[in-house]
C-alpha cells in the first residue's frame, strides 16, 4: 500500500504570476495538475480538456448540483471549478496534486480538505500587480479593472493561508514553492518510520 498523495493549492490574485511560477516548478518536480472547468470563453490557443474543460453555464450548474466539484467559485463574471473525481483518483494512487485556483475557491478547499497545503502567491506590491495585469494584455480594460478590485480584497486574506510566497522573481518564487513541497513531504504526521 502506498501513501496517499498530498493536495497542494496554489492561489493568489489574477496577474500575480501563478501560472509562470508553476511552469518553473513543474520543470523541476513531477506534479499532477488538476484541469479545471470554466464557463469563460477559451482564449486563443486554449484547448478544451488541456487548459480547461470549457462548459456552458447549464453544464456547469448540473455538475455543481451533482456535487462534482471539490470547490467552485465565480470569478470576474465566470464560473470556475475543480472536478473532484480526477483529483481523488490521483491522490489515491499516491501522486501529489496541485490546484491552481483563485482565492475564494482556495478558502473552500480548506473547509472540505483540512489536510490540503495552501500556498498564497503575493506580488511585491499592488502597483507591481497592476503593471503585470495591464502588461499581460489578454483582457479588456474593464476586465482588468474588475480583477484589480478583486485583487485588493484578496491580498487582505493572504495571512489565512499556510504559506505566503512573494513573487519577486519567477526563479526565487519557484524555489520557495519547491522548498515548501519538499518540506511537506517530510512532515512528521505524513512519514511512517519503519
Ligand atoms: P483565467 O480566466 O485567467 O484562466 O483564470 C482566472 C482565475 O481563476 C485565476 O486566478 C485562476 O487561478 C482561477 N481558476 C482557474 N481554475 C479554477 C478553479 O477550478 N477554481 C477556482 N476557484 N479558481 C480557478
In this prediction the pTM is 0.93
Across 6-154, where does the E strand assignment appear?
7-11, 32-33, 37-38, 53-54, 69-75, 78-83, 97-100, 117-122
Q: pLDDT tens-digit profile of 66-92?
A: 999 999 999 989 999 999 999 999 999
What was the pLDDT predicted at 2? 66
The pLDDT-based confidence of 149 (bands split at 50, 70, 90) is very high
pLDDT for position 138: 79
Q: Whose CA is nearest to atom 3 of ligand 1?
A: 14
* Mean pLDDT (whole number) for 95-122: 96
Atom of ligand 1 nearest to the CA of 81: 19
Ligand 1 atom 24, closest CA: 101
Ligand 1 pocket at CB < 6 A: 14, 18, 36, 40, 71, 73, 75, 80-82, 100-102, 105
Which pLDDT belongs to residue 90?
97
Amino acid at each position: 500500500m502506498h501513501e496517499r498523495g498530498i493536495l497542494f493549492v496554489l492561489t493568489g490574485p489574477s496577474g500575480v504570476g501563478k501560472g509562470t511560477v508553476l511552469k518553473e516548478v513543474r520543470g523541476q518536480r513531477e506534479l499532477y495538475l488538476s484541469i479545471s472547468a470554466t464557463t469563460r470563453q477559451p482564449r486563443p490557443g486554449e484547448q478544451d480538456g488541456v487548459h480547461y474543460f470549457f462548459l456552458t453555464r447549464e453544464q456547469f450548474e448540473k455538475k455543481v448540483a451533482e456535487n462534482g466539484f471539490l470547490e467552485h467559485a465565480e470569478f470576474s463574471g465566470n464560473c470556475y471549478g475543480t472536478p473532484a473525481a480526477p483529483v481523488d483518483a490521483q491522490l489515491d494512487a499516491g501522486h501529489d496534486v496541485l490546484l491552481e485556483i483563485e482565492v475564494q475557491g482556495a478558502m473552500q478547499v480548506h473547509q472540505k480538505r483540512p489536510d490540503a497545503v495552501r500556498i498564497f502567491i503575493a506580488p511585491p506590491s499592488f502597483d507591481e500587480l497592476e503593471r503585470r495585469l495591464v502588461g499581460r494584455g489578454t483582457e479588456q480594460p474593464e476586465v482588468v479593472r474588475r480583477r484589480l478590485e478583486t485583487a485588493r480584497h484578496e491580498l487582505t486574506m493572504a495571512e489565512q493561508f499556510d504559506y505566503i510566497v512573494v513573487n519577486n522573481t519567477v526563479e526565487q518564487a519557484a524555489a520557495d514553492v519547491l522548498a515548501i513541497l519538499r518540506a511537506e513531504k517530510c512532515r512528521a504526521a505524513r512519514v511512517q518510520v519503519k
